[in-house]
Structure 1
């Protein structure tokens, strides 16, 4: 700040005169007789010297702006007071002159206190006139406002505005000091930024936007005069009301005339300005997520808000953090990708409107940064009006009987991102990725084979008599969605075909606790108390691989994104950059990443995950795909997985490229036990919502290949398979066991020239992983027409549409 020179004698005289007159002026307003007696003057002189000489100035609350990742598209604004400080050079010269004409003609002449004004107020107030004058200068008004904003206790705010001689004296004393510390232009700038203009507008920037929809640098004469006239009484001179409009016009014209008096404009300019019809916009700045730039963007905005409220950087308590957000004057570049967000909004609503009980929920995460690019659901981000509700009665029969309404079409619940009591939804077989990762971490290769039975009797103990138990036992016995899914599978084919009776024995082998640990490393949390209890002692969590734990689309997308980023986990984050009011960047916006999965394990998992969505690499050995059309729709290298729970109560799909991981879950948030079937690759199912989101997000983006795995993680420790052709089945089994393999016998005979009932050969033949399953083909005794080869594929072929039956679990 620049200190200005003051004449010592002038300042001393000012102090003395102010001390004498201040008490007289205030007293004259209420007790004219006392004022004339000289008692007030004596009190003023004695008190003035003891008043504070330094003004503590706290920054007035500033509006916070949220923009999309492009740095320019508005997302939302948040504020306690709609204010944005501007430099005086960015304020129209007309506005600068208008506020002086309206409030303080001698602003550039006095030293913070206008002695002539004090004298005039004394004469006026002691004369018995109806109107009262207070002799406040712009500097004194600034002091009063600054004290209010710097107050730490409500009583201090009252003291700053009460009509007492003590308050006047304090203002005068501090105004003199402020005038010494700051230049006149600095004081004017501070005043224009702190003054209230009504209709929620604080400061000249907000006022010019609210009433005229333009920056303050563009204000003309009549607009400047209107705003300058409002600070005296914003409610009385409110041009947006029927009663206030004529008062506002009269006050505007009064200020215009005063602008002529101080030489700011000519008489001709004034006459022209007063002829202009006053037109105001009454455009209050939107506040909060319910007034986001687009209603559907409210869900992303809400995710940002909840994230902010968890950051200790912004304060020790939730109250402190909210105040920082709504008064800190931040400019926040969020991670919202307009192209991806708009695509997701279209996709979740396509063929499934906001009045559907079923919620199609989609989240998009950028691998390698954790930046959340889109959050979408077929709902309105809106509080339902209790007086005139739009929401339907809850789909939960128990709640419906009580008349409780559901979350459709309007809700502000974090359906996609979780939190606030929203624990998530079962995501079915998408969780098999965690079993696959745990197995790879244990050293099992992608080519690891298991003879998947139609039903697998596990060692996991569940309630006897449960539908999931083997008849008459308490052992968990999962089955597949189709009997045709049984057979010898490796990780590629089992993941692509979603074979339950491959993954549960695989989970049993590597340990359910290790599968849960892999899920946690990839960011899965257990919000539900029941899930948290099971996760704490996961050894007996038999069905975990089938996605019975609750999760959210955001968690699921980020888990898969970690694998796409070669095992680098990044905490989901909704911001790219946060700048304070002074332009300084905050480190809290930086990505928070760490390597949680080895690069080769992550690449191997992605290699298997290409199978379900119709893609493959040079190393992958895919068979059937449960969502085989994704690759052709996205037209880019993709990986992912579909999932379904029992009775189709939920459906899920994850699809990702190197740039985006998209996860979608379709469920009934109001009634998890819904009797509605959630579809997959149908017009109103979850699959189109996911692959259309990914397709649109990838428009104009580079097509980047996933890096395939290398080394033993693909084939493992390979051993030669002995030739057992034409040997007895028992001899063949014995020889294979002796070579370190796990022999199984095929159920159906194969064409062969070997004697019937003997070994026709093996599948695979040649070489396979040590300890792997080798199927003994049984000869039918009849050669294959045209040749003597063995028949029958190991894994059943697709069912005609390239997808196979949809998995359950």
Structure 2
């Protein structure tokens, strides 16, 4: 920062010449005699000379709001998630500050506070004599002058200019001191003594990041400023001289000595009796157990990853500043009250469930996560994962700041998560939307797709492309797609193929229609690849069976249409933001749009309900045909068995459960996870049981009605005699056990 230049340093100016000639001691004498400040002025030429000098002294005091902590709350507006601050401060009225605290600061800093008009002539004279006769300097700043100094510094910091006067600097220039004095006189003319004292006690630094007596009282003793006793008040008042040096928890011996000096001054000035003085001096500091106000998401006891998501939202939204520096300044100093959508009970259950499924730091390297949305509003009700939010630890230790539920642009990791078969329902929805039916038959017998096969895609040049030549299936002559389970390579209904997650059935459905009809639907649902932010590509058909990556938040938002009659609401995390001055900031309102016809959704739901409510292979906590309430959903497993899913919904809560890796695509099968070993690791292995347990606990707190029936469903009953095209083989090869391992290279 370049050195400041003041006209007072220029000896060519009138003031500069006078200052150079008089020197500081003579200046103090002049001030005391009333030649500069009309505190005890006698008039005449001397006073006129003082007024002329003041004309050249800059004396504008631009105030800025006090730096105040911001707080993030859950949806009840009361449950605190996290606090952010550069300066820990809680402004309070003077009535909420104990009289002992008021007396202590006056006794040690400005015993003539109620007699002077901003600048104390006697104090100036005493300081001048001391400076002339002693090797040390003695200050003469009144509380009003100190208040001015702090206000100017606060304004400079808020404006990003750094400290202008240096609140606790050992040396101030003549210009600084003159300006401070002139402003102090002006302040005394505009504010009452009580207003000045209140302002001072709320702005003054009291060690570390603690500013103001309320925050300091809470930090050192866990009490409000209204309860500060004599010795506690004296401790804080004594810190003003050198806040960090006299911190009672860091330097108790010097702090105790300084405190006793203040207590003696309180007695000398008549604020306390001799007995009160002696009892206070005999007491201990009692600061063994301080109460630091935690700052940031690392201190969040509830929803630390959601806290980080909200933080990222604020820091990237120009509503809160033109650039990130301004937005950070507002977050850490602006006293924002941010009310979010997070439901405390739902979040607590989500956190318990993911950590019960995969404990933090599990040797497998797996991480469990859960995210829930209200399908009627888009509100994020829960966002949890089985690691601790810690920027200074490693994933292998069970801690990370990587948010498994969101993409890289919102705090997620650089490696997106392969979604497996969770996108298959959208292929079925596109089929129905194009006029088809869930009982239409497709030929799922073909598992080898020849290079050069012509695929219809009306939105690409020429209206089609050739598989393996202009698509992502590679340069090999054949794209080999595998199914799990026997007796799958045959003709079957779209309903049956989706129920059993048959890869070749999904591809046959996609290739029997316009691929652009599918991507048109996924675009409407904002299904994008997490790492690139781009939508699904019609020339890359592997996305239909899991060969793509997206975030759980994106997937959950897309699945809300199945619970909300085809209407999707944009995900939202914040409902209200106000600052310390009561200003309201604009936040997104509920933004809902019907993106798919409700009857289309209802037909696909016929299948999804049967998937979610089949218990025989999923350790479901209810008897077959008797779930706690209506459910729907779909499993998903990446081709590498590195990421597994269950995405589903009740009427009132859409949730996505994920168990997998955040840092690689190494397989998880045959690796013990939380003490359990799996020969094959699928979405049905851990993600779906975790989803069931969680939804059983929290789902009843939301609407639990039935999903709308389709007007022209080809099926009479959703669960009776299912699956509809004949029972699967009973020789152990049932795909109920092996839900949906996708093609060998989902990342192609």
**Same topology, TM > 0.5:** yes
Q: Distance in 2 between matches of 1:480 and 1:684?
A: 18
Matched, 1:442 2:434: yes
Q: Distance in 2 between matches of 1:517 and 1:407?
A: 40
Which of 355, 363, 367 pairs up with 2:371?
A: 363
Counterpart CA distance in 2 for 1:568 and 1:661 is: 13
- Give CA-to-partner distance per residue, 1:398-422, whole Å, 9 cap, x none: xxxxxxxx65422212232221553
Q: Any residues of structure 2 matched to 1:19-98 within 5 Å, and which?
A: 27-28=24-25, 46-98=52-104
Are 1:309 and 2:306 matched, yes or no? no
1:191-243 deviation line (CA, Å, top 9, x unaligned): 111110012211222211111112222222221121111111112212112xx
Hey, what does 1:292 align to over in structure 2? 300
The residue number in structure 1 matching 2:222 is: 213
Q: 2-side partners of 1:106 and 1:436: how far apart?
A: 83
Distance 1:654 1:63 in 2: 38
Structure 2 residue 741 is matched with structure 1 residue 808? yes
Following the alignment from structure 1 to structure 2, what is the Cα–Cα distance between the partners of residues 270 and 690?
65
> Which one of the candidate residues 329, 334, 338 is aligned to 2:340?
334
Q: Secondary structure at the match of 2:81?
A: strand
Paired with 1:25 and 1:98, the residues of 2 have a C-alpha distance of 36
Residue equivalent to 1:629: 620
Separation in structure 2 between the aligned mates of residue 155 and residue 222 of structure 1, nearest angstrom: 34
Determine if contact 1:631/1:637 at 8 Å carries over to the other structure.
Answer: no
Counterpart in 2 of 1:612? 611
Report if aligned partners of 1:459, 1:476 keep a CA contact under 8 Å in 2. Answer: no
Residue in 2 that maps onto 1:785: none
TM-score by length of 1: 0.75
Structure 2, unmatched stretches of 5+, are 1-14, 38-45, 456-465, 671-677, 717-722, 743-748
Residue by residue over 1:364-403, the C-alpha shift from the partner in whole angstroms, topping out at 9 and shown as x without a partner, is 2222222222222222322346xxxxx5xxxxxxxxxxxx
More moved, 140-149 vs 505-514: 505-514
Given the alignment of the two structures, is residue 525 of structure 1 paired with residue 528 of structure 2, yes or no? yes
| 1:671 is the counterpart of 2:664 | yes
Match of 1:497 in 2: 500
Task: Give the aligned partner of residue 725 of structure 2.
Answer: 794
Q: Deviations over 1:273-325 (max 9, x none)?
A: 3332211133322122222225xx32222222222222111112222212211
Q: Secondary structure at the match of 1:555?
A: helix
Equivalent of 1:165, from 162, 166, 174?
174
The match for 1:412 is 401
Pairwise CA distance, 1:116: 2.2
For 2:145 and 2:344, locate their aligned partners in 1 and report how far apart those are by CA, in whole Å. 47
- The residue aligned with 2:149 is 144
- How far the C-alpha of 1:428 sits from its partner, in A, is 0.9
In structure 2, the CA distance between the partners of 1:124 and 1:468, relative to structure 1 (3 Å rule), is: closer
Query: Alignment partner of 1:411: what SS?
Result: coil
Between structure 1 and structure 2, the one with the greater Rg is 1
CA distance in 2, matches of 1:155, 1:377: 40
**In the TM superposition, what is the alpha-carbon distance from 1:58 to its structure 2 partner?**
0.8
Matches within 5 A, 1:266-285: 266-280=273-287, 281-285=289-293
Question: d(CA) in 2 for partners of 1:170 and 1:555?
Answer: 57
SS at match of 1:143: helix
CA contact (8 A) 1:20 1:45 kept: no
Q: Give the superposition deviation at 1:686.
A: 2.1
Write the distance in 2 (CA, Å) between the matches of 1:308 and 1:609.
36
* 1:66–1:74 contact (8 Å) kept in structure 2: yes
Separation of aligned partners in 2, 1:21 and 1:611: 93
Who is 1:738 aligned against? Answer: none
Alignment correspondent of 2:381: 373
| Distance across 1 between alignment mates of 2:131 and 2:112 | 21
Q: Distance in 2 between matches of 1:447 and 1:683?
A: 25
State the distance in 1 between where 2:648 and 2:374 align: 12
Q: 2:419 aligns with which of 421, 427, 431?
A: 427
Conserved 8 A contact 2:388-2:398: yes
Deviations 1:100-146 (A, max 9, x none): 222112222222222222222223223x1244222211111011111
How many residues are treated as equivalent by the alignment?
Answer: 676
Match of 1:134 in 2: 139
The residue aligned with 1:569 is 568
CA shift digits 1:669-723 (9 cap, x unpaired): 222144646865799722233222222223x5255213314434x34xxxxxxxx
Q: 2:330 aligns to what SS in structure 1?
A: helix
How far, CA to CA, are the matches of 2:594 and 2:724 in structure 1? 40
Once the two structures are overlaid, the 10-residue window that deviates more, 139-148 or 703-712, is 703-712
Q: Deviations along 1:560-619, whole A, 9 cap, x unmatched?
A: 12432233323323323322113444331643433333333334433432121117xxxx
**Aligned counterparts, 1:510-589, within 5 A:** 510-529=513-532, 532=534, 535=535, 538-588=537-587
CA distance in 1, matches of 2:531, 2:243: 51
The residue aligned with 1:741 is none
